[in-house]
């Protein structure tokens, strides 16, 4: 399992790096919006391009950083995808995020543009993270088109299932979505594409996507920090600390903290 931070906030990214847990970074337009708002609140001058270059400098050359296109048709996604690739490929390990289906609700007649864009970008050696995955079929088609990562949205799938009060076309939960993708990838011998569990909003999600066979989980900093917490761990620390005898403190050179 690899851990990515789901954030465009440089301070948060730095923290995960300091923890020694930074395997990658995922962003989306909403996360960029949060980071931009935070910078503006601090009164910082904003240049998004330099800011993203700064993220690449912090994470290092090999760590994957996903940047999302915002266009809603093939031509625009290809244009933006190449632009992001060209601008940042010399800075580090860019992944271009392409939605599996860029249509907004009903108003669209270019239903396969996501797949076409993945195919074209991957043909031209651009690494792709296919996003907004809510069915195993979407994941399989993205992988067949050449995506390097597929991002199933765990919590959003759970929210949706709660809302419709039934399974989502045979999918029981966000975790079940990841498990079904894993099973299909294994049975179909998909080797070129990793499952990047996204919308992982709590510790249970992390544990269960791990069990379901995700290769990577992307999470906000708050969830990453929750992964080591337990009431009994802290209670145990308190008791052990109370029991330190001076002789043992002297042996290990312990000074009261």
Shortest spacing between CB 221 and ligand E4P, in angstroms: 13
Q: Which is nearer to ligand E4P, 28 or 173 (CB)?
A: 28
Instruction: Just list the catalytic residues.
Output: 97
For residue 146, give every residue at least 6 positions away whose Cβ sits within 8 Å of its Cβ, in sequence order, or none: 118, 119, 121, 122, 123, 128, 192
Helix (H) or strand (E) holding 40: helix 29-41
Distance between first and last Cα of the chain: 34
Q: Which is nearer to ligand E4P, 92 or 99 (CB)?
A: 99
Q: Which is nearer to ligand E4P, 153 or 206 (CB)?
A: 153
Burial class (CB in 10 A: 0-12, 13-18, 19+), 12: buried
Q: Which is nearer to ligand E4P, 70 or 249 (CB)?
A: 70
Shortest spacing between CB 151 and ligand E4P, in angstroms: 6
Shortest spacing between CB 10 and ligand E4P, in angstroms: 17
Shortest spacing between CB 163 and ligand E4P, in angstroms: 14
Write out the residues near ligand E4P by the rule CB under 6 A. 6, 26, 28, 151, 153, 155-156, 198-199, 201, 218
d(CA 64, CA 92): 8
d(CA 152, CA 155): 9
For residue 228, give every residue at least 6 positions away whose Cβ sits within 8 Å of its Cβ, in sequence order, or none: none
d(CA 26, CA 24): 7
Q: Which residues pair with 96 in a beta bridge?
A: 67, 128
């Amino acid at each position: 399992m690899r851990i990515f931070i789901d954030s465009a906030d440089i301070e948060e990214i730095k923290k995960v790096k300091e923890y020694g847990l930074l395997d990658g970074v995922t962003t989306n337009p909403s996360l960029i919006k949060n980071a931009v708002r935070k910078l503006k609140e601090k009164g910082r001058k904003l240049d998004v391009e330099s800011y993203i270059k700064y993220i690449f400098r912090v994470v290092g050359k090999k760590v994957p950083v996903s940047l999302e296109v915002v266009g809603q048709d093939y031509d625009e996604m290809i244009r933006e995808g190449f632009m992001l690739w060209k601008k940042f490929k010399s800075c580090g390990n860019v992944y271009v995020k392409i939605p599996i289906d860029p249509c907004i609700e009903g108003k669209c007649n270019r239903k396969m543009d996501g797949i076409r864009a993945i195919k074209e970008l991957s043909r031209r050696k651009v690494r792709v993270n296919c996003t907004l995955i809510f069915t195993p079929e979407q994941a399989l088609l993205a992988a067949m088109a050449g995506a390097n990562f597929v991002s199933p949205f765990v919590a959003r799938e759970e929210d949706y299932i709660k809302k419709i009060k039934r399974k989502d076309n045979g999918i029981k939960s966000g975790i079940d979505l990841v498990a079904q993708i894993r099973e299909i990838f294994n049975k179909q011998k998909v080797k070129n594409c990793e499952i990047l569990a996204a919308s992982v909003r709590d510790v249970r999600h992390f544990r269960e996507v791990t069990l379901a066979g995700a290769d990577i989980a992307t999470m906000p900093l708050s969830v990453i920090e929750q992964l080591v917490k337990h009431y009994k761990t802290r209670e145990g620390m308190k008791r052990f600390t109370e029991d330190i005898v001076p002789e043992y403190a002297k042996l290990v050179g312990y000074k009261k903290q």
